[in-house]
């Protein structure tokens, strides 16, 4: 009796499954839509993107199947008409999943999807309703997984960004043009000589010294990735990975960096015109409101799919044009992202892979050196009294075979410093460093010190953040945020936020 009731219940459920264009279209695209958002919410959380993906994954399939439903009834198709809806449902469903995982064309994968869809449609067209039911169950599971992610964003608190004093009202007593050049993953010169880097190359260091740059050895970032590090540096506060969301994609990171942060607000309140230059629109992927007066990327040039690393611009060309144009008498602040040498990448492991990735890193160092040299020369030619800040966002992860090893608990000093050690070199106007007592140790305090210099007010140094480097650990220890380097540059492992 039980099996009969179960069977009847199953038939009753399937009888409610419709093969209308509306139902098929929703079944085709709803799971890919939920899946894409659950994996990439931090990059696609704008309303513009939501409307685009809603059209792509749901509205377009519904309209498409409306046309197919009419075509499938035409007499000239004969017995083949019954295969049209199942085939295109299968093909679009798998194609959407492919597009989410691989944004490139990937012709071989598309051919494989076509063949599989043909075979499944031919042999399983009689069970089309069952397949639609499977798609809807997957969509339901995907939506359940997406709910806590959305809930976190809806209830996100910006309280951590509040300053402990009135530094956001500071009035600059001197207003040089300021150029913040950020090479991705460029380790400090002091660390390049030791550990897993073990390099004596100093041509770029010599170039900076010849151009009156002050190098700050043993400097490091507070966080291990571009988004987390920049969010801290531009707010001049610790966020502790937003309570431990994950290793890089902290909540609202791109909005904070591009639009709403204390550093940008302070420059604006002091009548600075602000510029953002980048080789790749990585920080702009979720289309945050542009807080800078000028950007070398327009949102119309940025694709909806991808990570932002698929579209590249020559920032030297763009930057030189703006620099020589000199379109305003106002002081200027430039934030310039250089995507070299960058950290090691990939998930693979293999023989001598760490050494191979180290060699690749130093090839990328040469590329970064060339770009920054040309940029510095252009700046000094047009603006010799500029304040030029070269500060990397984090280290290069050299010594590891894959970046994910940075999320493992380790007591290896060289590996930890490979993650956090970062370059800091500054060209002070007229070669005059600040006369007050200060020490650059970590990126969270750099702008607070610079603002104290510009505002000629050292009282703001009373509220420096702790010079501690934090990591998000997921392996070999309870998952959570840990202090990995303390204020004395010693290795530690102190829990800050542990996920239950």
Q: What's the rounded Cα separation, in Å, for the pair 218 and 121?
A: 62
72 and 215 in a single domain? The answer is: no
Query: Is 484 inside a domain boundary?
Result: no
Q: Which two tokens stand for residue 38?
A: 């659950």
Choose the weakest-confidence range: 59-63, 87-91, 244-248, 393-397. 244-248
- Whether residue 108 lies inside any domain: the answer is yes
Please indicate, yes or no, whether residues 257 and 355 belong to a single structural domain of this protein.
yes
Percent of the chain exceeding pLDDT 70 equals 91
State whether 341 and 463 are in the same domain. yes
Predicted TM-score (pTM) of the model is 0.90
What pLDDT is recorded for position 125?
80
Query: Are 305 and 435 contained in the same domain?
Result: yes
Does residue 7 lie in a domain region? Answer: no
Which of 154, 183, 212 is the endpoint of a domain? 154
Taking CA atoms, 494 is separated from 174, 238, 487, 490, in Å, by 41, 16, 13, 12
Bridge partners (DSSP) of residue 276 are 295, 335
Instruction: Kindly state whether residue 475 falls inside one of the protein's structural domains.
Output: no
Name the strands in the sheet holding 491-498, side by side, starting at the edge strand that comes first in the sequence: 469-473, 480-485, 491-498
> pLDDT tens, 114-135?
999 999 888 888 888 889 999 9
What residues make up the domain containing 420? 166-467
* CATH number of the CATH domain containing 389: 3.40.720.10
| Residues 94 and 192 occupy one common structural domain | no
pLDDT score for 18: 65
Residue 337's pLDDT is 97
To 5 degrees, how large is the angle CA 398–CA 403–CA 405? 95
Q: Are residues 150 and 175 in the same domain?
A: no
Q: Is 38 inside any structural domain? A: yes
Q: Is 123 helix (H, G, I), strand (E, B) or coil?
A: helix
Candidates 108, 94, 43, 482; CA nearest to 281 is 43
> Around 475, how many Cα atoms within 13 Å sit in the side-chain half-sphere?
8
| Same domain for 177 and 146 | no
150 plus 170 within the same structural domain:
no
Residue 428 burial (CB count, 10 A): 19
What's the number of domains the chain is made of?
2
Number of helices (H) and strands (E), helices first, in the chain?
Answer: 17, 10
Task: Please check whether residue 248 lies inside any domain of the structure.
Answer: yes
Q: 225 with 346, same domain?
A: yes
* Pure H helices in 245-308: 253-258, 262-269
* Shared domain check, 132 and 274: no
**Residue 342 shares a structural domain with residue 462:** yes
Residue pLDDT, tens place only, 359-383: 999 999 999 999 999 999 999 999 9
The residues near 134 (Cβ < 8 Å, ≥ 6 apart) are none
Indicate whether 189 and 106 sit together in one domain: no
The answer to whether residue 3 is domain-embedded is: no
- Determine, yes or no, domain membership for 481: no
Give tens-digit pLDDT for 51-95: 999 999 999 999 999 998 887 776 556 567 678 889 999 999 999
């Amino acid at each position: 009796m039980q099996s009969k009731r179960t069977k009847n219940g199953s038939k009753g459920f399937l009888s409610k499954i419709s093969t209308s264009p509306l139902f098929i279209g929703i079944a085709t695209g709803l799971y890919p839509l939920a899946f894409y958002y659950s994996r990439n919410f931090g990059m696609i959380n704008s309303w513009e993107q939501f409307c685009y993906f809603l059209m792509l994954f749901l509205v377009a399939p519904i309209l498409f199947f409306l046309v197919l439903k009419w075509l499938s009834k035409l007499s000239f198709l004969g017995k083949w008409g019954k295969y049209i809806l199942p085939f295109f449902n299968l093909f679009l469903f798998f194609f959407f999943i492919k597009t989410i995982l691989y944004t490139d064309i990937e012709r071989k994968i598309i051919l494989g999807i076509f063949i599989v869809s043909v075979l499944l449609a031919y042999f399983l067209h009689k069970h089309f309703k069952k397949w639609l039911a499977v798609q809807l169950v997957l969509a339901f599971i995907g939506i359940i997984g997406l709910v806590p992610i959305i809930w976190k964003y809806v209830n996100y608190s910006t309280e951590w960004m509040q300053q402990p004093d009135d530094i956001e009202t500071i009035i600059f007593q001197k207003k040089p043009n300021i150029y913040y050049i950020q090479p991705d993953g460029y380790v400090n010169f002091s660390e390049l000589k030791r550990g897993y880097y073990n390099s004596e190359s100093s041509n770029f260091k010599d170039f900076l010294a010849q151009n009156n740059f002050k190098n700050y050895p043993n400097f490091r970032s507070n966080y291990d990735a571009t988004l987390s590090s920049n969010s801290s540096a531009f707010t001049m506060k610790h966020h502790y990975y937003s309570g431990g969301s994950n290793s890089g994609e902290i909540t609202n990171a791109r909005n904070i960096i591009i639009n709403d942060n204390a550093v940008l607000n302070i420059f604006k309140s002091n009548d600075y015109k602000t510029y953002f230059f980048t080789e790749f629109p990585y920080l702009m992927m979720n289309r945050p409101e542009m807080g800078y007066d000028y950007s070398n990327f327009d949102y119309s040039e940025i694709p909806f799919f991808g990570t932002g690393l698929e579209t590249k611009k020559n920032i030297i060309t763009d930057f030189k044009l703006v620099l020589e144009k000199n379109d305003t008498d106002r002081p200027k602040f430039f934030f310039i992202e250089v995507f070299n040498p960058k950290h090691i990448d990939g998930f693979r492991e293999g023989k001598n892979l760490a050494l191979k990735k180290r060699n690749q890193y130093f090839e990328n160092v040469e590329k970064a050196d060339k770009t920054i040299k040309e940029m510095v020369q252009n700046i000094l030619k047009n603006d010799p009294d500029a304040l030029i800040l070269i500060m990397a966002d984090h280290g290069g992860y050299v010594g590891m075979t894959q970046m994910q090893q940075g999320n493992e608990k380790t007591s290896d000093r060289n590996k930890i410093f490979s993650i956090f050690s970062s370059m800091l070199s500054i060209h002070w106007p007229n070669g005059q460093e600040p006369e007050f007592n200060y020490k650059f140790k970590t990126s969270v305090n750099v702008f607070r010190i610079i603002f104290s210099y510009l505002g000629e007010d050292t009282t703001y140094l009373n509220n420096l953040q702790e010079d501690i480097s934090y990591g998000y650990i997921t392996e070999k220890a309870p998952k959570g945020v840990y202090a990995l380097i303390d204020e004395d540059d010693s290795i530690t492992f102190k829990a800050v936020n542990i996920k239950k």
